[in-house]
Chains A and B, each alone.
Chain A
């Protein structure tokens, strides 16, 4: 089991970096090329959501992304440090409506193995994809 971990200040400009790193590590772990777009998008959505929760709650802190090669599965965890009360009903900061809802809709539609939890100290999104058999054989 190999892990790459990334921590970044909860700022929008770092989400792209997280996407690029996640896609690179997923490719290396043997996630199928056809699924890499999905991985990139899912990580982007999870990180955008984390950044949004921090921003709306006025919470400073970091977003942690763990990319774990579990041999048969490639696991991604995105953890925020925003508390429960930052989870919005609607975006109230002048943003367009339904962004959080749309983000979760994209994640749900995209990722088969998805788990979204939130607690007082922050939230956690866990998702995983199969690693192709060819990659295992190498």
Chain B
């Protein structure tokens, strides 16, 4: 399965809906998308991972890279994820402390802390 990406704007947030598998082959596409958004001035990103079937460390690296890019502009990168097998990967790498992880897009869009 390939990676699917779509973006939409909700208020001052840009929601990136990701589907499929994020791995060493597909992660560059996600990286390009995040870089492009930041270059275009979208600094408050919500990455919706509910449609993600597989995530590995390459994908984590891209998300960390995205977070660094938005933070350089005092922006934010929030994740939406309820899948235990994906959350586990964030936990074992300690990244649950780095990313705000929300249970719904609505929640992430409204979050301000």
Contacts and interface: CB of A to CB of B under 8 A. Distances in A.
Partners in one complex: yes
Interface string B63-101: 011001000000000000000010001001110000000
A130 interface: no
A15 B22 CA distance: 12
B92 A98 contact: no
A37 B89 contact: no
Contact of B31 (A13, A40, A52, A96): A96
Nearest to A108: B92
B112 to A, nearest CB: 27
A119 interface: no
Interface residues of B, number: 20
A84 B7 CA distance: 41
Contacts of B57: 45, 48, 99, 102-103, 105-106
Contacts of B62: 96
Interface in A4-55: 12-13, 15-16, 19, 37, 40-41, 44-45, 47-48, 51-52
B61 interface: yes
Give the most central of B24, B25, B93: most A CB within 10 Å.
Answer: B24
Identify the 6 closest CB pairs spanning chains A and B, nearest first: A109-B92, A96-B65, A102-B57, A12-B25, A48-B24, A99-B61
Interface of B: 21, 23-25, 31, 54, 56-58, 60-62, 64-65, 68, 85, 89, 92-94
